[in-house]
Structures are given as C-alpha cells and as structure tokens.
Amino acid sequence: MRAIGAGLVLFAAGAAAFASPRTDEGVRLFEARRFPEARAALEAAVQEDSRDTRALYYLGRTLMAQNEPEKAAAALEKSVALDPASAEKHLWLGRAWGSQAQSANFLKQASLAPKIRREFEKAVELDPGSADARFSLIEYYINAPGIMGGSLDKAREEAAAIARLDPLRGYRARARILEYEKNWDAAGAEYDRAARQFPDKLEPAVWGSNLWAGQKNWSRAFAPIEAFLSRNPASLSATYQIGRLAALSGENLDRGAEALTRYLASDPRPEDPPLAAAQWRLGQILEKKGDRLGAKRAYEEALKLDASHKEAKEGLKRVS
C-alpha cells in the first residue's frame, strides 16, 4: 500500500511538472489583464487536457473579467470538481453564480441562492482565515432575503471575524453593512477612521470616495482621494482615481485630464487600473469638455489597448 501511495504522489508531481505551457502562458496573460489573449490560451489548454484544473480556474476568472458569468461558472464548476479542497475555487464559483443572480428573475435567483451560499460557506470552512471569502458571505447575507438565508446578524458576525483577521478590511466590512442600511454618515466615519489608522493605504480613500460618488456628493467624493495624494503624491492609482471621478462627475475636468495624462505616461503595475481604462476615462472627460476630436482619439487609443472595451466602443460611436 505504501508503494502504491508513493506512486500516486510521484504521478501527481509528474502531472504538475508537465502541465501545459499554454496554461502557464494563459495565467501570465490573465495576471497582465490581457483577457482576450488569456482566454484563447486557456481554452486551448483545456481543449488539450479537460482535467487541467488550473487552466479551468483561470479560464473561469478570465470569463468573469469579460462579464460572462454563465460560461465562467461552467469552467469553475469543473475546476472545483477536480480540486474540491481549494477554498479559492469554491469562492470564485460562488461569485460566478452570484453574478448570474444579479440579472436573473426571481425564480432563477431562488435556484441559485443555495448554491451561492454553499460555495461561500465552503470557502470559509476550508480557509477560515480568508477575509475575501467572509466578505463574500457578508454580501450574500445582506442581499439575500431571509427566506434564502439572508441575515444582518450573520453579516455582522462575519464583519467581526474579518476585523480580527485584518483590521483594515474590518472597517470595510462594517461600513458595507452600514451602506446597506443607508447609514451613509456612519459608513463614511468608518472609512475616515480607516484612513487615519492606515494613512499610507489607498483603499480607505477609494472606499470613502465611492460611497459619496454613489450619492453624487462630488465634493466629498474627491476629498479623500485628494487627501491621500497630499500624503502620497507619487501614487499612480490615486492619480487615476482623480481622473475617474472627473469623468463620472463632470467636475474638475482640467484636473482630471491632467491626472489621466500623467497616468498614461507611466508604467502602471498589473494591479493598477489598465491603460485602456485611463484612455477611456480621458475620452469621457474630453467629450464633456466638447473636444470631440480629442475624445475620438482617446477612445481609439483605448481600443488599441483593449479591442473588447465595450464602453470605449460606445464612446467612439458617440463622437464619430
């Protein structure tokens, strides 16, 4: 029996060692946010080996990035079946089903709800230290009706657990529940406390900015990003956020265009907003300023960087 077990371990190690180079390439392209190319490589890897759970997982993630949750769920469900001990795979399968539920009718939502909840709970069971999995549970508990397992009390329990694991994310979790309750000032106060405790972290500024942008309170939306930039003037991500807010609000357009021009001259990290998004936002600003030719050029540049960028395509139609 020991020999058989050792043989199985060696077989598994060998299978991992000889994983398709298409998978490695697809993962690299996914991490670089080159989603159409990543999809092609990962689909080829799955066609080559239908049991390549890593290729299936990243294909699902890629399809989610391309807003195709049904296809994403199909790939992720296969990946989970092949690797049921992976908390991350259960988490993303739950997210894919959750994304489907957002645009589904009530009957479809009712059929998806137990599957979504099961995947999130399984992810937490497999990795109790995953703040991401617990946050997804919060989203489920606050959005699902009681008959489908929704519960503010359970959401608050998860928020407390997140705070113990990650104090920064704890602020976000508490504020998210307050946002659901439409207690905007209390939610904003949580983000302000997070910014004071973590002055070098951009996340609290973005969370607070998004809160007030959702209420179209643009002065309060700009304030946390500008405050962060005053402390961290080299932050490219914060610079992008100024441009994004200008594009959304129609306010501070010159400031926004300047910020995006600076961002486009940089070499952002993979985790920063892609350059295609910055070109699209710049196009929106120029369009609002009445510069249709400049907007057209910006949208065209966005599409050169990402030919699948839906919003840039729509913008180009408007100004052409």
Identify whether residues 159 and 108 lie together within a single domain.
Answer: yes
pLDDT at 103: 87
pLDDT band at 253 (very low <50, low <70, confident <90, very high): very high
Identify whether residues 291 and 242 lie together within a single domain.
Answer: yes
Number of alpha carbons in the 13 Å side-chain half-sphere of residue 93: 27
Amino acid at 278: A
DSSP string, 71-92: HHHHHHHHHHHH-TT-HHHHHH
Domain-ending residue, one of 133, 165, 197:
165
pLDDT at 109: 87
Average pLDDT of the chain to the nearest whole number: 93
pLDDT at 3 over 50: no
Q: Which DSSP category does 274 fall into?
A: P
Comparing 100-104, 127-131, 137-141, 190-194, the range with the smallest average pLDDT is 100-104
pLDDT at 4 over 90: no
pLDDT at 5 over 90: no
pLDDT at 19: 62
CB 131 within 8 A of CB 169: yes
pLDDT at 14: 43
**With left for phi above 0 and alpha for psi between -120 and 50, is residue 250 left, alpha or beta?**
left
The CATH code of the domain that includes 270 is 1.25.40.10
Identify whether residues 76 and 120 lie together within a single domain.
Answer: no
Give the burial string for 19-36 (b: 16+ CB within 10 Å, else e).
Answer: ebebbebbbebbeebbbe
Give the burial string for 140-171 (b: 16+ CB within 10 Å, else e).
Answer: bbbbbeeeebbeeeebbebbebbbeebeebbb
Q: Is 257 exposed, middle or buried (0-12, 13-18, 19+ CB in 10 A)?
A: buried
- What is the per-residue pLDDT across 207-240, written as a single tens digit (0 to 9) for each? 999 999 999 999 999 999 999 999 999 999 999 9
CB atoms within 10 A of CB 44: 15
Identify whether residues 318 and 238 lie together within a single domain.
Answer: yes
65 lies in a domain?
Answer: yes
pLDDT at 104: 85
Identify whether residues 113 and 73 lie together within a single domain.
Answer: no
Domain-ending residue, one of 165, 199, 217:
165
CA distances to 4, 50, 125 from 167, in Å = 46, 41, 21
**How far apart are alpha carbons 104 and 173 in whole angstroms?**
26
Which range of residues forms the domain containing residue 284?
A: 234-320
186 lies in a domain?
Answer: no
Identify whether residues 74 and 107 lie together within a single domain.
Answer: no
209 lies in a domain?
Answer: no
Domain-ending residue, one of 65, 83, 101:
83
Q: Which DSSP category does 49 fall into?
A: -
Average pLDDT over every residue of 59-81:
97
pLDDT at 269: 87
CB 120 within 8 A of CB 94: yes
Comparing 7-16, 77-86, 130-139, 284-293, the range with the smallest average pLDDT is 7-16
Sign of CA dihedral 138, 141, 144, 145: negative
Q: Of residues 195 and 108, which shows the higher confidence score?
A: 195
Average pLDDT over every residue of 143-165:
95
Identify whether residues 246 and 317 lie together within a single domain.
Answer: yes
97 lies in a domain?
Answer: yes
314 lies in a domain?
Answer: yes
pLDDT band at 138 (very low <50, low <70, confident <90, very high): very high
The answer for residues whose C-beta is within 8 angstroms of residue 56's C-beta and 6 or more apart is 46, 75, 76, 78, 79, 82
29 lies in a domain?
Answer: yes
Identify whether residues 68 and 124 lie together within a single domain.
Answer: no
**How far apart are alpha carbons 4 and 51 in whole angstroms?**
22
Identify whether residues 71 and 93 lie together within a single domain.
Answer: no
pLDDT at 17 over 50: no
7 lies in a domain?
Answer: no
pLDDT at 271: 85
pLDDT at 270: 81
Percent of the chain with pLDDT over 70: 94
**How far apart are alpha carbons 144 and 92 in whole angstroms?**
18
pTM, full prediction? 0.85
14 lies in a domain?
Answer: no
Question: What's the number of domains the chain is made of?
Answer: 3
Identify whether residues 78 and 121 lie together within a single domain.
Answer: no
Identify whether residues 101 and 29 lie together within a single domain.
Answer: no
pLDDT at 308: 83
